[in-house]
Amino acid sequence: MANATDHLWMHFTRMASYSAGEVPTIVRGEGAYVWDAQGRRYLDGLAGLFVVNAGHGRTELAEAAAKQAGELAYFPLWSYAHPTAVELAERISSLTPGDLNRVFFTTGGSEAVEAAWKLARAYFKRVGKPTKHKVVSRYIAYHGTSMGALSITGLPGIKTDFEPLVPGGIKVPNTNFYRAPEHGDDPVAFGRWAADEIARAIEREGPDTVAAVFLEPVQNSGGCFPPPPGYFERVREICDAYDVLLVSDEVICSWGRLGEYFGAVRYGYQPDIITTAKGITSGYAPLGAMIASDRLMEPFLTETGMFAHGVTFGGHPVSCAVALANLEVFAREDLVGHVRANEGAFRSTLEKLHDLPIVGDVRGDGYFYGIELVKDKTTRETFDEAESERLLRGFLSTALFDAGLYCRADDRGDPVVQLAPPLIAGQQQFDEIEQILRTVLTEAWSRL
């Protein structure tokens, strides 16, 4: 559509790249596929943006939205409740690990992360530790774009234009074992080292100043870094030792993406807070949530206590109704079990690409993978900035889309192709992803 370049300001988009051409416009979806305005079909290898977990074209979710809008289109959660928010909060708390029973609704992931940091600060003020306000997060990790969430984010390239940010963000190494700076031959030792870097950071800053550690179960940005064995067990020990809250940022990793409703369950650790969004509604309406333990609510249960935070559309009745219908689909079709049953096949299909000279690493879990691209498989030499620009933005992104695969060619760390198909995907889609990647990556190598 020509007028897209005149009026629509797209997110994280180089608008000048469309000055001489039309913006790709997606008009409908069905199952694991979407179609553009010219009628061309694409396999949605990223579930929109790690969002459409139940797949496209679910009429029951649209019908749930319409029904709720006809009954109660909107009412705030400011001192009042409405039935869908109450029911959804109860449903979520039945799925969370441990005592994570307090659900604070937002409209998306950045807001959920923002709410978690604000809660951590407010909680420690109320329990007599007012200097605990800083947060620890990992290099290259993405936690959102609002000013607080952006301060937790570990991607310098998307922060520069907005500095100075909220003070108090502390960065530690991530769990990219493929490029481990220490213990590159021992994942258990590497995991212990990476976790202990969190303890060292807390010590450097002063334990009386650190409120929380924000970690994704599988770090997205940089290309899917799963946790090494024992990593989260050690992080939990560190947080307990220094009285620091462990926040599991599961905006991507919840709602079946890793074969469990929550990534913390997949890897066997107990967070104090979970932040979530995206797949909670499979993208059919905007919704997010901060889910906190009962003990974090206690200081706010006094007669005059209040968590002085809220957003107008957090827990919107229509969005909550869609989320409830979405979770019914999950239960009826056992989408979480489907991921567990098929994740091995997805992994083995993607690992076929190891025979290509450009493929250095294939990593991930569940239906969440990154394929790291290299110049030399033996030395693991990566591409310089100019080569990465030419390879990813100049060729791969467009070539993969033209070949019928929507995914992400990402250079926010080392160059990777990210994949996160809808949870309904099976071997047919896995094979299609592998075949398209094989063709396009072979062509990319010939262009170097």
* Chain segment 244-286, per-residue pLDDT in tens: 999 999 999 999 999 999 999 999 999 999 999 999 999 999 9
Evaluate if residue 1 carries a pLDDT over 60. no
Evaluate if residue 14 carries a pLDDT over 90. no
Question: What would the mean pLDDT of 355-360 be, rounded to a whole number?
Answer: 97
Question: What would the mean pLDDT of 297-325 be, rounded to a whole number?
Answer: 96
Pick the residue with more confidence: 397 or 179? 179
Question: What would the mean pLDDT of 314-340 be, rounded to a whole number?
Answer: 98
Span 122-151, pLDDT tens digits = 999 999 999 999 999 999 999 999 999 999
Q: What is the pLDDT of residue 247?
A: 98
Long-range contacts for 357-365 (Cβ within 8 Å, ≥24 apart)? Answer: 357/445, 358/441, 358/444, 358/445, 358/448, 359/441, 360/178, 361/178, 363/177, 363/178, 363/223, 363/224, 363/225, 363/226, 364/218, 364/224, 364/226, 364/419, 365/218, 365/224, 365/226, 365/258, 365/259, 365/266
- Secondary structure of the chain: what % helix, strand, coil (to 5)? 45, 15, 40
Q: What is the pLDDT of residue 387?
A: 85
Evaluate if residue 3 carries a pLDDT over 80. no
Q: Poorest-confidence range of 10-24, 199-213, 223-237, 410-424?
A: 10-24
Give the pLDDT band of residue 389 (cuts 50, 70, 90): confident
Evaluate if residue 306 carries a pLDDT over 80. yes
Evaluate if residue 391 carries a pLDDT over 60. yes
Span 46-71, pLDDT tens digits = 999 999 999 999 999 999 999 999 99
Q: What is the pLDDT of residue 371?
A: 97
Q: What is the pLDDT of residue 2?
A: 59
**Number of helices (H), then strands (E), in the chain:** 15, 15
Identify residue 39 by its one-letter amino acid code: G
Q: What is the pLDDT of residue 254?
A: 98
Q: What is the pLDDT of residue 411?
A: 74
Identify residue 205 by its one-letter amino acid code: E
Give the pLDDT band of residue 414 (cuts 50, 70, 90): confident
Q: What is the pLDDT of residue 262?
A: 98
Cis peptide upstream of residue 164 (ω within 30 degrees of 0): yes
End-to-end CA distance of the chain: 33
Q: What is the pLDDT of residue 11?
A: 86
Share of the chain above pLDDT 90, in %: 88
Evaluate if residue 174 carries a pLDDT over 60. yes
Share of the chain above pLDDT 70, in %: 100
Whole-prediction pTM value? 0.96
Question: What would the mean pLDDT of 96-120 be, rounded to a whole number?
Answer: 98
Alpha-carbon gap, residue 433 to 389, rounded angstroms: 23
Question: What would the mean pLDDT of 216-224 be, rounded to a whole number?
Answer: 95
Q: Which of 415, 410, 405 is nearest to 437 (CA)?
A: 405
DSSP conformation letters of 59-97:
HHHHHHHHHHHHH------SS---HHHHHHHHHHHTTSS
Evaluate if residue 4 carries a pLDDT over 80. no
Q: What is the pLDDT of residue 392?
A: 75
Question: What would the mean pLDDT of 357-381 be, rounded to a whole number?
Answer: 97
Mean pLDDT of the chain: 95
